Amino acid sequence: MDFLRRLVAGDQPNWPTQPSAFTLIPGYEDLEVVGESHYQEALRAAAGPASRVEVTAVLYAEIGSPYDANAISVWVQGRKVGYLSREDAAVVRPGLLRLQDQLGSRIALRGDIVAGGPVGTMGLFLNWDPAAFGIAPPSPQEVVDSVKRQLESERAPVTRHFLYAGLEDALYARRDEPSALDLFDQTCASHDAEMPQIRPALLAEFHNLPRIQVYHQSVIRHQKAQDWSRALWWAERGLNVYGNDALAAENVEDLRKKAAKCRLKLGD
């Protein structure tokens, strides 16, 4: 029984932890890890006493999984800590196997183990470069269409928050195209309208509020259009949403500065 088959059979091998045992592939895009709730002990062992720690995560293309033929598990310091989602694994697996053959080693990504939520639940966030795995970036329209489809069925407030953020990024990137900014504005308005549900969900998940980009970007969008009253509205709305719960003080300070500039332009 080979190395990976022992994993599937439940016999945890002595996974190599030395840097020479894998090749680190740098990247800056997010790659989701799922199932961390089942591996809290392993995540806490890897993080130690820190509430946030950078780690190297090794990807393993499992063989013979009865649940997912494309299953890719994620390992940190020789411990399984989660999986790629079923959808991501199907896309990533061919490129992962190709890289392993080319480089003659396992493939690793940079990531962060982060404690969040009122009971200190640990999560893992990975960074990757899809191009390194032979995956062409989707066109802006493909991103828009995909996120819209997901928003139609997704009900979890935190997931909807990040879906909205992805859609806003894609639309703003197309701001020179006809109607793109109108769609951006509509998406931001819908995103903000759901904030009464999203805000407490973010607090429950992360204990503080991460940067909520919709407010920062909407201010910039209206400042560029010299619509200072609308820009001020978005700045003040963002400050109201953050309240005293912002994870990073600079996010609140950024909106305060933007609001002050808007008031100056309006002559207030």
pLDDT value at position 58?
Answer: 95
Distance between CA atoms of residues 173 and 186, nearest Å = 15
The pLDDT confidence band at residue 10, using thresholds 50, 70 and 90, is very low
* Residue type present at position 35: G
Average pLDDT, the chain: 88
Distance between CA atoms of residues 105 and 96, nearest Å = 11
Structure tokens at 265: 């332009």
Contact 168, 187 (CB under 8 A): yes
Find, among 70, 69, 47, the residue nearest to 57 by Cα.
Answer: 47
- The model's pLDDT over 99-138, given as tens digits with 9 standing for 90+, comes to 999 999 999 999 999 886 545 688 999 999 999 999 987 7
- The model's pLDDT over 141-151, given as tens digits with 9 standing for 90+, comes to 787 888 889 99
Find, among 138, 224, 238, the residue nearest to 191 by Cα.
Answer: 238
The angle at the Cα of 59, spanning 55 to 65, to the nearest 5 degrees, equals 135
